[in-house]
Chain A
Amino acid sequence: KQEVTQIPAALSVPEGENLVLNCSFTDSAIYNLQWFRQDPGKGLTSLLLIQSSQREQTSGRLNASLDKSSGRSTLYIAASQPGDSATYLCAVLSNDYKLSFGAGTTVTVRA
């Protein structure tokens, strides 16, 4: 059974600081890994999708890396802004096409 862990559970930083969010998974036989953003009381918004054959994906200030062999992914958010405050969820798609989620990292960016 795939287990996905996100550390830290919560993070508070001043505006302008870079954010580093970690995700680890127990079974390296994955199809892809996806990072989502969730605002309070809202649904999930897809941020980045990394296929198992890829090492990283970038979108604007966001960069996600994937090390499948060690079971780790890292989401970097450069020059954080108050609008980046949200919960960030990591999800791993296993080869049986089941998507497993971590519990998330709640980010607060202080103005």
Chain B
Amino acid sequence: KAGVTQTPRYLIKTRGQQVTLSCSPISGHRSVSWYQQTPGQGLQFLFEYFSETQRNKGNFPGRFSGRQFSNSRSEMNVSTLELGDSALYLCASSLASEAFFGQGTRLTVV
């Protein structure tokens, strides 16, 4: 059974640009959640989607958005990138109690 797949693995963008990250959950999982990991702030919850609906949202500015498709794949978008958005972005998928993460997308903003 394939795990959670995140693409791309690495990304370098310039300040002011926008970026889209993708997450394909484990087959059959309907919940996808996103997290940002930085050395200073640790792991912080961004948002969660379930059956194409945003169910929870963390305390991030509106530049951070996401969506989920009917096949449960999810994308997150960050517009007007800032240097502080440089981070490891992790997504997790869940069917019941447990949550399984992908390998993450490491975003560097220059």
Instruction: Answer yes or no: are A and B bound together in one complex.
Output: no
Chain A positions within 8 Å of B, measured between CB atoms, are none
Chain B positions within 8 Å of A, measured between CB atoms, are none
